[in-house]
Protein backbone atom coordinates (compact mmCIF):
# COMPACT_ATOMS: atom_id res chain seq x y z
CA UNK A 1 0.00 0.00 0.00
CA UNK A 2 1.47 3.32 -1.13
CA UNK A 3 0.57 6.38 0.93
CA UNK A 4 0.84 10.08 0.17
CA UNK A 5 2.02 12.84 2.47
CA UNK A 6 -1.62 13.84 3.01
CA UNK A 7 -2.32 10.31 4.21
CA UNK A 8 0.55 10.57 6.68
CA UNK A 9 -0.72 13.90 8.02
CA UNK A 10 -4.17 12.38 8.54
CA UNK A 11 -3.25 9.04 10.13
CA UNK A 12 -0.59 10.47 12.47
CA UNK A 13 -2.61 13.62 13.22
CA UNK A 14 0.37 15.91 12.65
CA UNK A 15 1.19 18.82 10.35
CA UNK A 16 2.87 18.51 6.96
CA UNK A 17 5.80 20.43 8.43
CA UNK A 18 6.24 17.70 11.05
CA UNK A 19 6.22 15.00 8.36
CA UNK A 20 8.90 16.88 6.42
CA UNK A 21 11.04 17.06 9.58
CA UNK A 22 10.59 13.31 10.08
CA UNK A 23 11.80 12.72 6.53
CA UNK A 24 14.82 15.01 6.92
CA UNK A 25 15.86 14.29 10.51
CA UNK A 26 14.36 10.93 11.50
CA UNK A 27 14.99 8.94 8.32
CA UNK A 28 11.30 8.36 7.63
CA UNK A 29 11.23 5.77 4.81
CA UNK A 30 9.85 7.12 1.55
CA UNK A 31 10.52 7.54 -2.14
CA UNK A 32 10.15 10.70 -4.18
CA UNK A 33 8.55 10.55 -7.62
CA UNK A 34 7.41 13.56 -9.68
CA UNK A 35 8.20 15.82 -6.73
CA UNK A 36 5.81 13.87 -4.48
CA UNK A 37 6.61 11.58 -1.56
CA UNK A 38 5.26 8.03 -1.39
CA UNK A 39 5.31 5.82 1.70
CA UNK A 40 5.04 2.04 2.10
CA UNK A 41 2.68 0.97 4.89
CA UNK A 42 4.81 -1.81 6.39
CA UNK A 43 8.02 0.23 6.22
CA UNK A 44 6.14 3.07 7.90
CA UNK A 45 4.98 0.84 10.75
CA UNK A 46 8.49 -0.49 11.25
CA UNK A 47 9.91 3.03 11.32
CA UNK A 48 7.28 4.32 13.75
CA UNK A 49 8.05 1.49 16.16
CA UNK A 50 11.80 2.01 15.95
CA UNK A 51 11.57 5.77 16.44
CA UNK A 52 8.91 5.51 19.18
CA UNK A 53 6.53 7.71 17.20
CA UNK A 54 3.07 7.66 18.75
CA UNK A 55 0.85 5.14 17.00
CA UNK A 56 -2.76 5.93 16.21
CA UNK A 57 -5.83 3.69 15.69
CA UNK A 58 -6.04 5.10 12.16
CA UNK A 59 -2.58 3.78 11.35
CA UNK A 60 -3.43 0.27 12.52
CA UNK A 61 -6.85 0.23 10.87
CA UNK A 62 -5.31 1.28 7.57
CA UNK A 63 -3.48 -2.04 7.34
CA UNK A 64 -6.75 -3.97 7.39
CA UNK A 65 -7.55 -2.77 3.86
CA UNK A 66 -4.54 -4.66 2.53
CA UNK A 67 -6.02 -7.82 1.03
CA UNK A 68 -2.94 -9.03 -0.84
CA UNK A 69 -1.10 -10.01 2.34
CA UNK A 70 -2.65 -12.41 4.85
CA UNK A 71 -2.68 -11.06 8.39
CA UNK A 72 -4.31 -13.94 10.23
CA UNK A 73 -2.26 -13.50 13.39
CA UNK A 74 -2.80 -9.75 13.56
CA UNK A 75 -6.55 -10.12 13.01
CA UNK A 76 -6.81 -12.90 15.62
CA UNK A 77 -4.99 -10.81 18.22
CA UNK A 78 -7.14 -7.79 17.49
CA UNK A 79 -10.28 -9.94 17.82
CA UNK A 80 -9.13 -11.46 21.11
CA UNK A 81 -7.91 -8.18 22.63
CA UNK A 82 -5.07 -7.35 25.06
CA UNK A 83 -5.50 -7.18 28.84
CA UNK A 84 -3.27 -6.09 31.71
CA UNK A 85 -2.98 -6.95 35.44
CA UNK A 86 -4.81 -10.27 35.32
CA UNK A 87 -5.07 -11.91 38.73
CA UNK A 88 -4.32 -15.47 39.82
CA UNK A 89 -1.87 -17.24 42.14
CA UNK A 90 -1.63 -20.54 40.21
CA UNK A 91 -2.29 -21.93 36.73
CA UNK A 92 -5.92 -22.80 37.41
CA UNK A 93 -6.80 -19.38 38.82
CA UNK A 94 -5.00 -17.57 36.01
CA UNK A 95 -6.73 -19.61 33.31
CA UNK A 96 -10.12 -18.99 34.94
CA UNK A 97 -9.48 -15.24 34.96
CA UNK A 98 -8.51 -15.38 31.29
CA UNK A 99 -11.48 -17.52 30.22
CA UNK A 100 -13.81 -14.97 31.85
CA UNK A 101 -12.36 -12.36 29.47
CA UNK A 102 -12.43 -14.38 26.26
CA UNK A 103 -14.73 -13.14 23.47
CA UNK A 104 -16.80 -16.34 23.24
CA UNK A 105 -20.13 -16.81 21.52
CA UNK A 106 -23.05 -17.68 23.79
CA UNK A 107 -23.13 -21.24 22.44
CA UNK A 108 -19.65 -21.88 23.87
CA UNK A 109 -19.46 -23.02 27.48
CA UNK A 110 -16.74 -21.21 29.43
CA UNK A 111 -16.67 -23.86 32.16
CA UNK A 112 -16.00 -26.61 29.62
CA UNK A 113 -13.35 -24.50 27.90
CA UNK A 114 -11.59 -23.91 31.23
CA UNK A 115 -11.56 -27.64 31.91
CA UNK A 116 -10.04 -28.29 28.48
CA UNK A 117 -7.32 -25.67 29.01
CA UNK A 118 -6.43 -27.08 32.42
CA UNK A 119 -6.36 -30.63 31.01
CA UNK A 120 -4.00 -29.46 28.27
CA UNK A 121 -1.64 -27.93 30.84
CA UNK A 122 -1.62 -31.13 32.91
CA UNK A 123 -0.75 -33.15 29.83
CA UNK A 124 2.07 -30.79 28.86
CA UNK A 125 2.81 -27.20 29.82
CA UNK A 126 2.16 -24.61 27.12
CA UNK A 127 4.93 -22.39 28.53
CA UNK A 128 7.53 -21.76 25.83
CA UNK A 129 10.12 -20.05 28.03
CA UNK A 130 11.19 -16.52 28.94
CA UNK A 131 7.97 -15.90 30.88
CA UNK A 132 5.61 -16.68 27.97
CA UNK A 133 2.90 -19.33 27.59
CA UNK A 134 0.38 -20.10 24.83
CA UNK A 135 -2.64 -21.83 26.43
CA UNK A 136 -4.80 -23.68 23.89
CA UNK A 137 -7.07 -26.69 23.75
CA UNK A 138 -5.83 -30.01 22.39
CA UNK A 139 -8.54 -30.26 19.74
CA UNK A 140 -9.71 -26.87 18.35
CA UNK A 141 -12.57 -28.44 16.38
CA UNK A 142 -14.66 -29.00 19.52
CA UNK A 143 -15.00 -25.23 19.99
CA UNK A 144 -17.15 -24.72 16.86
CA UNK A 145 -15.96 -21.15 16.33
CA UNK A 146 -16.34 -19.03 13.19
CA UNK A 147 -13.07 -17.14 13.48
CA UNK A 148 -9.79 -17.61 15.38
CA UNK A 149 -8.84 -15.33 18.25
CA UNK A 150 -5.78 -14.72 20.39
CA UNK A 151 -6.20 -13.04 23.77
CA UNK A 152 -2.99 -11.60 25.19
CA UNK A 153 -2.94 -11.25 28.97
CA UNK A 154 -0.29 -9.77 31.26
CA UNK A 155 -0.47 -11.10 34.81
CA UNK A 156 -0.24 -9.01 37.97
CA UNK A 157 2.23 -11.53 39.37
CA UNK A 158 4.25 -14.25 37.60
CA UNK A 159 2.91 -17.79 38.06
CA UNK A 160 4.62 -21.17 37.86
CA UNK A 161 3.55 -22.85 34.60
CA UNK A 162 6.07 -25.71 34.81
CA UNK A 163 8.15 -24.15 32.05
CA UNK A 164 11.21 -26.08 30.89
CA UNK A 165 13.46 -23.09 31.58
CA UNK A 166 12.06 -22.88 35.12
CA UNK A 167 10.96 -19.25 34.71
CA UNK A 168 7.48 -18.24 35.95
CA UNK A 169 4.98 -17.01 33.35
CA UNK A 170 3.41 -13.57 33.21
CA UNK A 171 2.65 -13.23 29.47
CA UNK A 172 -0.06 -15.49 28.05
CA UNK A 173 -1.39 -15.76 24.49
CA UNK A 174 -4.62 -17.79 24.71
CA UNK A 175 -5.36 -19.24 21.29
CA UNK A 176 -8.82 -20.33 20.12
CA UNK A 177 -9.30 -21.72 16.60
CA UNK A 178 -12.19 -23.07 14.51
CA UNK A 179 -10.14 -25.85 12.91
CA UNK A 180 -6.91 -27.79 13.28
CA UNK A 181 -5.56 -26.28 10.06
CA UNK A 182 -6.09 -22.67 11.19
CA UNK A 183 -4.85 -23.55 14.66
CA UNK A 184 -1.53 -24.82 13.31
CA UNK A 185 -1.19 -21.87 10.92
CA UNK A 186 -1.68 -19.30 13.66
CA UNK A 187 0.41 -21.18 16.22
CA UNK A 188 3.33 -21.40 13.80
CA UNK A 189 3.06 -17.70 12.94
CA UNK A 190 2.92 -16.77 16.61
CA UNK A 191 5.96 -18.93 17.38
CA UNK A 192 7.84 -17.24 14.53
CA UNK A 193 7.01 -13.75 15.79
CA UNK A 194 7.87 -14.58 19.39
CA UNK A 195 11.44 -15.33 18.33
CA UNK A 196 11.89 -11.64 17.61
CA UNK A 197 13.85 -9.84 20.33
CA UNK A 198 12.09 -6.51 19.81
CA UNK A 199 8.65 -8.08 20.23
CA UNK A 200 9.85 -9.86 23.37
CA UNK A 201 11.11 -6.52 24.67
CA UNK A 202 7.69 -4.92 24.07
CA UNK A 203 6.00 -7.81 25.88
CA UNK A 204 8.31 -7.71 28.88
CA UNK A 205 7.83 -3.96 29.17
CA UNK A 206 4.04 -4.43 28.87
CA UNK A 207 3.88 -2.07 25.91
CA UNK A 208 0.65 -0.50 24.70
CA UNK A 209 -1.82 -2.52 22.57
CA UNK A 210 -1.04 -0.23 19.63
CA UNK A 211 2.69 -0.97 19.81
CA UNK A 212 2.19 -4.72 20.18
CA UNK A 213 -0.33 -4.94 17.33
CA UNK A 214 1.87 -2.86 15.05
CA UNK A 215 4.94 -4.99 15.75
CA UNK A 216 2.91 -8.16 15.11
CA UNK A 217 1.71 -6.71 11.80
CA UNK A 218 5.27 -5.94 10.72
CA UNK A 219 6.62 -9.34 11.73
CA UNK A 220 3.76 -11.23 10.12
CA UNK A 221 4.33 -9.39 6.85
CA UNK A 222 7.77 -11.00 6.72
CA UNK A 223 6.17 -14.45 6.62
CA UNK A 224 3.92 -13.62 3.65
CA UNK A 225 6.49 -13.87 0.79
CA UNK A 226 7.35 -17.45 1.78
CA UNK A 227 3.67 -18.36 1.96
CA UNK A 228 2.93 -16.86 -1.44
CA UNK A 229 5.98 -18.52 -2.95
CA UNK A 230 4.76 -21.87 -1.73
CA UNK A 231 1.38 -21.28 -3.40
CA UNK A 232 3.03 -20.38 -6.68
CA UNK A 233 5.12 -23.56 -6.64
CA UNK A 234 1.97 -25.65 -6.37
Q: What is the CA radius of gyration of the chain?
A: 20
CA angle 1-60-47, nearest 5°?
70
Whether 136 is catalytic: yes
Instruction: Give Cα 232 distance to the centre of its chain.
Output: 27
| CA dihedral sign, ordered 194, 196, 201, 207 | negative
E strand or H helix at 98: helix 91-101
Identify the active-site residue in 136, 147, 183, 204.
136
3-state helix, strand, coil in the chain (%, to 5): 50, 15, 30
List residues with catalytic annotation: 136
Amino acid sequence: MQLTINDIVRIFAVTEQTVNKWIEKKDMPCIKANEQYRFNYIELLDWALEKRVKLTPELLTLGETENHNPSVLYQALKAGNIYYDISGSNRGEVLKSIVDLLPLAQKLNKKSLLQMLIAREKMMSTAIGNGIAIPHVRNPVVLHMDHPSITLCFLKKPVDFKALDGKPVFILFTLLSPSVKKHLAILSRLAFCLQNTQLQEYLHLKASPEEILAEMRVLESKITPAVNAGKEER
